[in-house]
Amino acid sequence: MKKLINFILLFVSISILVNGQRKVVHLPDLPGYVTLKCDLHLHTVFSDGNVWPTIRVDEALRDGLDAIAITDHLDYFTHTDYIKTDHNAGWKVTELYAKERNIILVQGTEIGRDMPPGHVNALFIHDATSLVKDSVWDAFEAAIQQGAFLMWNHPGWKHQQPDGIPRLYDIHLKMIEKGWLHGIEFLNFIDYYPLVLEMCKEHNLAVMGSSDMHGLISETYKIPEYTNRPMTLVFAKERSHDALREALFAGRTLVWFHEMIAGRVEYAKPFFYGCISVSKIYYENDKKKFFEVTNHSDIPFSLINGKRTPKSVVLEANSVTRIAVSKDVVFPITYEVSNVLIGENEYLKIELE
Amino acid sequence: MKKLINFILLFVSISILVNGQRKVVHLPDLPGYVTLKCDLHLHTVFSDGNVWPTIRVDEALRDGLDAIAITDHLDYFTHTDYIKTDHNAGWKVTELYAKERNIILVQGTEIGRDMPPGHVNALFIHDATSLVKDSVWDAFEAAIQQGAFLMWNHPGWKHQQPDGIPRLYDIHLKMIEKGWLHGIEFLNFIDYYPLVLEMCKEHNLAVMGSSDMHGLISETYKIPEYTNRPMTLVFAKERSHDALREALFAGRTLVWFHEMIAGRVEYAKPFFYGCISVSKIYYENDKKKFFEVTNHSDIPFSLINGKRTPKSVVLEANSVTRIAVSKDVVFPITYEVSNVLIGENEYLKIELE
Amino acid sequence: MKKLINFILLFVSISILVNGQRKVVHLPDLPGYVTLKCDLHLHTVFSDGNVWPTIRVDEALRDGLDAIAITDHLDYFTHTDYIKTDHNAGWKVTELYAKERNIILVQGTEIGRDMPPGHVNALFIHDATSLVKDSVWDAFEAAIQQGAFLMWNHPGWKHQQPDGIPRLYDIHLKMIEKGWLHGIEFLNFIDYYPLVLEMCKEHNLAVMGSSDMHGLISETYKIPEYTNRPMTLVFAKERSHDALREALFAGRTLVWFHEMIAGRVEYAKPFFYGCISVSKIYYENDKKKFFEVTNHSDIPFSLINGKRTPKSVVLEANSVTRIAVSKDVVFPITYEVSNVLIGENEYLKIELE
Amino acid sequence: MKKLINFILLFVSISILVNGQRKVVHLPDLPGYVTLKCDLHLHTVFSDGNVWPTIRVDEALRDGLDAIAITDHLDYFTHTDYIKTDHNAGWKVTELYAKERNIILVQGTEIGRDMPPGHVNALFIHDATSLVKDSVWDAFEAAIQQGAFLMWNHPGWKHQQPDGIPRLYDIHLKMIEKGWLHGIEFLNFIDYYPLVLEMCKEHNLAVMGSSDMHGLISETYKIPEYTNRPMTLVFAKERSHDALREALFAGRTLVWFHEMIAGRVEYAKPFFYGCISVSKIYYENDKKKFFEVTNHSDIPFSLINGKRTPKSVVLEANSVTRIAVSKDVVFPITYEVSNVLIGENEYLKIELE
């Protein structure tokens, strides 16, 4: 019977140093799959970036990513006065560092040419040097021989495509025909290309999103609570390098950046329903009945519906939204989710039951 | 094949107004129970507080609480020049407002006397006015007749107990004997009393924590990410008023404030294990093996262990912590959790398997 | 020669409690005047608000205001079951509390009628009760006899003016003619009315901005770094009640909310130039010369200029912006400041020298 | 008379990209001097760091620094497999980049030896290569011939000084005697050495503070509002490279990190008084008189005083603190500032007048 402590003395988390832990990002898995958060387009001092490759792993931990690829250019180096050209350096320097930190590291490189075909990432290769070829077609072939996943980067990059409209040129169509193109960047850095969603639907390709970061993630994007960096969400059979590879070739992806989700409806729909849960009517009065929608994820959703009260609902991330509807409303209520893009001009349609 | 959008145009969450949604707090349920977050000691303008009662519901939504009680003093009013004394006003004004917002509202009041017995909250009553009695014992009896849960508030409050040490006086022991005392505040505002943990163990009472707020939660506590307001976590059979009542009488509680959890070991232990998960060894080298501990909750945990590498580990909230141990370490590894208090000087002991 | 301290032990600001200090807002004074930050339209439990009046002072301290007015309705009360009607209660309860905290408290009330004339605040009165009159004109006269400053509130409030367009009706013109109208709200809550700028110019009235808060400032506006609550900036001869009054009657005001400044050009222009300073050319190379613009204030400014490089510049708050211009650019460079409104469709024009 | 805009449409600062502006840090100048914020101990990929040198300039802009030195080791390289050894590379790569951004870049290097003498930075040199010598004494001489400012780094670094206590060995005393030692790090990374304050007083050396950063500032220190990175505040005649050099040789410095200021009393005292202003008595009642202390700076100050009410005062950064004292208190009131260190165990004494 003796003690009073007037003031809280236990400050577990008081530290002035960042701790190197991996953030838990609140996203649902899909039935049969785990959701891997990936940024598969990153640069370092070994092409025209400004950071040592291990920094990309540190950033991945901080941002809660599961997998990254370092994809330095094969043909563009800004630090040659000081840095030896070694197309596999990013991989070699980082391999063990990533392993100890449980980050899946994908070996890759970026094959750069004028448009067409523009820039193409080769992922899951084992030797970038053998992709240095005069003919881009030879480069692709060398990549394919290593089992590469080929991703067409920033297809509407204004530097190469002044009107900004991505077009599938003959060479791209020929790649698709041979099974040599597996994904296209819908989102690169802060630009996105709705047409890519149509291309991927038509040709059964993976919809991809990447930061294409050269500097620092934290010094490039403003990062408040929901300003998440660009990433590809990959629905893999397990959290492993090989399962990631299988899922990418199968095209099981969505893109997430900031407050936007984009991809094919077959993944966007169960993903959305995985993020939310709808309660029963918990209260009613003379005029209205009340229910709740819980958004368990880190992604806010904006529901729009011209017909019924309420016309629009924002389901903020990690929040429970109260919805009051007229007593005569018949369920389900249908909405479009205005920040989930499933086609060039098409938004995900959902029902609240 | 036509469109590029250069810049993100969809800002779902851009708004300059707070939205009134209920925060999702990341805490585990216990097997067979849901975890209800409760602050059962709050004041309003109807005693000596500064806010209209409905504000307490708005605060509960913002902070992710499930239940609150407005417990204005029966005997202390600072605004009598302007406000009519009505001991049930807090309840009457708020009842419907809470119902529409799916916040469980508990009717209550605070019976105030000099120490002993000090201040006692009567919760789950239906008429506070009938508790206005000259004799405190009569007041308790009137509360008990209404089926009240009686909670002894701030038992070491320096104003009433100058040395700050809580003591069970005869009147408290008599209350316990008759089954008229059901819980004691371990935590009130920012003060906490480790001895209360021993009292509650010995006499089988609920360990309680409350803000005892008179002003505004948001203008009193600094609220960064983890500075959570004081609350009692109650392990109830379902999210309902009656299940909350049953769980409180059964003493199934923990207290959470800021970075501290306190209560009986039978709840603290499964709660801690519900917060975390331990991975398999995901990598080993010549010297070390690596595994991960994921803390899925909003509460950081500080593990301390004099014997082994690492001697201390902080499991930050919503983070995955990488732990590297010598290859010859034998599992399980045991730790004390220095911010989970289960006795006057006793911390929760846990094992990582 | 003896000591090492490995870790920072001095955490001055670690506290879990808010401290009640007054925020320093970084804004310039104008030559001969100090800039007073004022919110002169606030409600409490004494009309249809939800807080005790002293909370308005606490909020003012936290937000760095110099002056507030509590302006409860004369004719609209939502808590009459519990709260005694006393039109001067807000003032009486708060007067001493504000004095001790060095917040200038202005006595006021809100005279409410259908449109026209709508709602009008009477500020700097000494007895609100005597303004209770059947005829609104009698109410205005009673206010004027007390030396009141009369402010027309939310002139385009959709509830009273369904098309949202503010109009000077006969009664307003008659008020102006008699010198009985002194200011109009350009901004109320989150709505603003550009036309009010023209009205104030033409009739020489003070441009006003207020929160018209009924609940809590902190629970209504999202408050990140720059989301400042609505306020009238008043350029007064000193920081005192009487100097504030003189300045308001003289119309020396601007309105600030969030990232917008609005008012008459004679105040907006020196205010903008007081916020910034322009450096000399600090570096030049073959093509460009470089200079810096420092924004010393808490308000970001957006400069737009179709003609020259750079076409647009954002001067973030409390930041130094580097500007590179062609070597042949001739100073001064002219810009419009797109977030400083000086007329219905007119933005402040400035020069960088 | 036509327009209403319901909602704020002007979001000047909404952007998802960081803007590269330089933060304004609120610190006072001293009479006759401008206060330059400097971090003169930084590493890059050209020794054992992880970033390209230009990143150090980007960080300086973000953090509001005026000057930095890149001081890669002369003798320790972790990336030699890929990066060419060039002791002047950090300087050459960064010189123009810093100039365009108006950051003062100081050429430097770190001369590393076992203790004694430990590690020494040579600043304001023009060729680091000529400092590569077998004898450390020869290295110092080569630096001195280039006009170097020599700073003894982390004098109590446990790796070299296991008890953590800094000691002036013979070689240091000999350096001092010859005028070859000009400053000592009181603060390095997160460690600080109070004894250094005594050494600098006795031998008239500059008190220095540096981050000694190898990775990223933003990924190392947690950076909330006041967690400022380590820096040396230098009181220079103007904001220029040469004025910085003159001021350092003259020893006109303080160290700032997080919430701590340290250095010689002759600079600490006017710096403190430059940060604050004390108001007149603005109100008094029967018992007390009230005045205000405004802290205009980004540094909080903790005042402690055993004798009088109030015994302790925290002057939060950018805040106005209200102080109430008994009517019979005689001014000035004296305090110690517990976060301004001016000797091994000595805190700044100040008076409020």
Q: Which amino acid is at A352?
A: L
Q: Report chain B residues whose CB lies below 8 A from the CB of D224.
A: 224
Write out pLDDT tens, residues D178-197.
Answer: 999 999 999 999 889 999 99
Q: What does the pLDDT read at residue A19?
A: 78
Which one, of D259, A49, A12, C234, lies nearest residue B225 by Cα? A12
* pLDDT, greater one: A102 or B17: A102
Q: Choosing among D19, D21, D52, which should be mutated to test the A contact, i.e. which has the most A CBs within 10 A? A: D52
Residue whose entry in the numeric block shows the structure tokens 């053998």:
A130
Structure tokens at C269: 């222009």
Helix extents (H) in B234-311: 241-249, 265-275
Chain D neighbours, 3+ Cβ pairs < 8 A = A, B, C
Which one, of B249, B260, B257, B252, lies nearest residue B302 by Cα? B260
Q: How many CB pairs under 8 A join B and C?
A: 88
Which one, of D19, D205, D194, D188, lies nearest residue D101 by Cα? D19
Per-residue pLDDT of chain C (353 residues; tens, 9 = 90+): 333 333 334 445 456 777 789 999 999 999 999 999 999 999 999 999 999 999 999 999 999 999 999 999 999 889 999 999 999 999 999 999 999 999 999 999 999 999 999 999 999 999 999 999 999 999 999 999 999 999 999 999 999 999 889 999 999 999 999 999 999 999 999 889 999 999 999 999 999 999 999 999 988 887 654 468 999 999 999 999 999 999 999 999 999 998 899 999 999 999 999 999 999 999 999 999 999 999 999 999 999 887 766 888 999 999 999 999 999 888 899 999 989 999 999 999 999 98
Q: Residues A192, B5: contact at Cβ < 8 Å?
A: yes
Does A16 sit within 8 Å of C14, measured CB to CB?
no
Which one, of D238, D193, D190, D195, lies nearest residue D211 by Cα? D190
Which overall architecture, per CATH, does domain A271-352 show? Sandwich (2.60)
Q: How many CB pairs under 8 A join B and D?
A: 6
* pLDDT, greater one: D139 or B12: D139
Distance separating the N- and C-terminal Cα atoms of chain A: 55
Residue A203 has pLDDT above 60, yes or no: yes
How far is D12 from D9, CA to CA, in rounded Å?
9
Residue B9 has pLDDT above 90, yes or no: no
Which one, of C190, C339, C218, lies nearest residue C275 by Cα? C339
Find the CB nearest B222 among C17, C49, C58.
C17
Q: Residues D46, D54: contact at Cβ < 8 Å?
A: no
How far is D145 from C117, CA to CA, in rounded Å?
83
Chain B neighbours, 3+ Cβ pairs < 8 A = A, C, D
Average pLDDT over every residue of A162-178: 95
Q: What does the pLDDT read at residue C50?
A: 94
Structure tokens at C18: 């808010």
Q: What does the pLDDT read at residue C18?
A: 76
CA A75 vs CA A114, A129, A159, B38, D190: distances in Å = 12, 11, 17, 61, 41
Q: Choosing among B7, B18, B23, B188, which should be mutated to test the C contact, i.e. which has the most C CBs within 10 A? A: B18
Find the CB nearest C51 among B51, B59, B220.
B51
Helix extents (H) in chain C: 54-63, 89-100, 136-145, 170-177, 195-203, 241-249, 265-275
Find the helix packing angle between D54-63 and D89-100, rounded to 10°.
Answer: 40
Q: Residues D278, D291: contact at Cβ < 8 Å?
A: yes
The conformational region for residue D128 under phi > 0 = left, psi -120 to 50 = alpha, else beta, is alpha
* DSSP calls for D194-217: THHHHHHHHHT-EEEEE--BSS-S
Compute the nearest-CA separation of C6 from chain D (Å).
5
Angle at A79 between CA A77 and CA A81, to 5 degrees: 115
Q: Report chain D residues whose CB lies below 8 A from the CB of C198.
A: 1
Q: Report chain A residues whose CB lies below 8 A from the CB of C16.
A: 8
How far is B53 from C36, CA to CA, in rounded Å?
33
Q: What does the pLDDT read at residue A223?
A: 67
Which overall architecture, per CATH, does domain B34-263 show? Alpha-Beta Barrel (3.20)
CATH 3.20.20.140: which residues of chain A? 34-158+169-263
Which one, of D21, D317, D102, lies nearest residue C26 by Cα? D317
Find the CB nearest C24 among D99, D319, D322.
D319
- Nearest-by-CA chain A residue for C224: A224
Compute the nearest-CA separation of A124 from chain B (Å).
21
How far is A221 from B248, CA to CA, in rounded Å?
47
Which one, of A157, A207, A217, lies nearest residue A186 by Cα? A207
* DSSP-derived 3-state class of residue A119: strand
Write out pLDDT tens, residues A230-283.
Answer: 999 999 999 999 999 999 999 999 999 988 999 999 999 999 999 999 999 999
Does C21 sit within 8 Å of D324, measured CB to CB?
no
How far is D244 from D121, CA to CA, in rounded Å?
16
Q: Residues A123, A106: contact at Cβ < 8 Å?
A: yes
- Residue D191: count other Cβ atoms within 10 Å of its Cβ: 20
How far is A92 from D46, CA to CA, in rounded Å?
19
Contact residues for D179 (Cβ-Cβ < 8 A; gap 6+): none
Does B258 sit within 8 Å of A290, measured CB to CB?
no
Q: Report chain B residues whose CB lies below 8 A from the CB of A5.
A: 191-194
Find the helix packing angle between C89-100 and C54-63, rounded to 10°.
Answer: 40
Q: Which amino acid is at C204?
A: N
Q: Choosing among B24, B287, B301, B314, which should be mutated to test the A contact, i.e. which has the most A CBs within 10 A? A: B24
Q: Report chain C residues whose CB lies below 8 A from the CB of D301.
A: 12
Does D14 sit within 8 Å of B8, measured CB to CB?
no
How far is A272 from A287, CA to CA, in rounded Å?
30
Give per-residue burial for D258-272: e unless 16+ CB within 10 Å, then b: bbbbbbbeebbbbbb
* DSSP calls for C43-74: --TTTT-SB-THHHHHHHHHHT-SEEEE--BS
Average pLDDT over every residue of B260-285: 97
CA D272 vs CA A270, D29, D262, D265, D307: distances in Å = 60, 11, 11, 10, 21
Q: How many CB pairs under 8 A join A and B?
A: 185
Q: Report chain C residues whose CB lies below 8 A from the CB of B219.
A: 18, 55, 58-59, 62, 218
Contact residues for A181 (Cβ-Cβ < 8 A; gap 6+): A150, A152, A172, A175, A203, A205
Residue C317: in which H helix or E strand, if any?
none
Q: For D34-160+167-263, which CATH superfamily applies?
A: Metal-dependent hydrolases (3.20.20.140)
Residue B312: in which H helix or E strand, if any?
strand B312-315
Phi and psi, residue C155, nearest 5°: -70, -15
Chain A neighbours, 3+ Cβ pairs < 8 A = B, C, D
Find the CB nearest D259 among C10, C257, C259.
C10
CATH 3.20.20.140: which residues of chain B? 34-263
Which one, of C225, C228, C299, C256, lies nearest residue C26 by Cα? C299
Q: Residues D321, C21: contact at Cβ < 8 Å?
A: yes
CA A186 vs CA A120, A227, B223, D90: distances in Å = 13, 18, 38, 37
Which one, of C133, C188, C131, lies nearest residue C159 by Cα? C188
Indicate the pairing of strand C149-152 with strand C119-123.
antiparallel
Q: Report chain C residues whose CB lies below 8 A from the CB of A16.
A: 8
- CATH value of D276-352 in 3.30.70, 1.25.40, 2.60.40, 3.40.630: 2.60.40
Q: Report chain A residues whose CB lies below 8 A from the CB of C5.
A: none
Residue whose entry in the numeric block shows the structure tokens 């407002």:
B97
Q: What does the pLDDT read at residue B218?
A: 86
Q: Report chain B residues whose CB lies below 8 A from the CB of A322.
A: 20-22, 100-102
Q: Report chain A residues whose CB lies below 8 A from the CB of C11.
A: 14
Q: What does the pLDDT read at residue D228?
A: 85
Compute the nearest-CA separation of C21 from chain B (Å).
11
Q: What does the pLDDT read at residue D187?
A: 94
Indicate the pairing of strand B67-70 with strand B104-112.
parallel
Find the CB nearest B17 among C46, C84, C222.
C222
Residue B131 has pLDDT above 70, yes or no: yes
* Average pLDDT value for chain A: 92
Per-block average pLDDT, block size 10, for chain D (353 residues)? Answer: 38 65 96 98 96 96 96 93 95 97 98 97 98 97 98 95 93 98 95 94 98 92 72 98 98 94 97 98 95 96 81 91 92 92 94 91
Q: What does the pLDDT read at residue C29?
A: 98
Q: Choosing among B82, B191, B192, B222, which should be mutated to test the C contact, i.e. which has the most C CBs within 10 A? A: B82
Does C50 sit within 8 Å of B50, measured CB to CB?
no
* DSSP calls for A180-212: ---EEEEEETTEE-THHHHHHHHHT-EEEEE--
Whether omega before A117 lies within 30 degrees of 0, making that bond cis, reads yes
Phi and psi, residue D335, nearest 5°: -140, 160
Total-model pTM = 0.95
Q: What does the pLDDT read at residue B305?
A: 84
Average pLDDT over every residue of B154-164: 93
Q: Residues B255, B207: contact at Cβ < 8 Å?
A: yes
Q: Report chain B residues whose CB lies below 8 A from the CB of D11.
A: 14
Q: Residues D140, D111: contact at Cβ < 8 Å?
A: yes
Query: Which numeric CATH code is attached to A34-158+169-263?
Result: 3.20.20.140
Which one, of D213, B308, D209, B325, lies nearest residue A18 by Cα? D213
Find the CB nearest C8 among D190, D324, D344.
D190
Q: Report chain C residues whose CB lies below 8 A from the CB of A11.
A: 14
CATH 3.20.20.140: which residues of chain D? 34-160+167-263
Find the helix packing angle between B54-63 and B89-100, rounded to 10°.
Answer: 40
Angle at C5 between CA C4 and CA C6, to 5 degrees: 110
Does A193 sit within 8 Å of B13, measured CB to CB?
no
Whether omega before B300 lies within 30 degrees of 0, making that bond cis, reads no
Write out pLDDT tens, residues D304-323.
Answer: 887 766 888 999 999 999 99
CA A169 vs CA A61, A166, A199: distances in Å = 38, 9, 12
Which residue numbers of B have CB closer than 8 Å to C's CBs?
Answer: 15-18, 45-46, 49-52, 54-55, 58-59, 62, 79, 81-84, 86, 89, 93, 190, 215-216, 218-222, 227, 258
Find the CB nearest B218 among C45, C89, C218.
C218
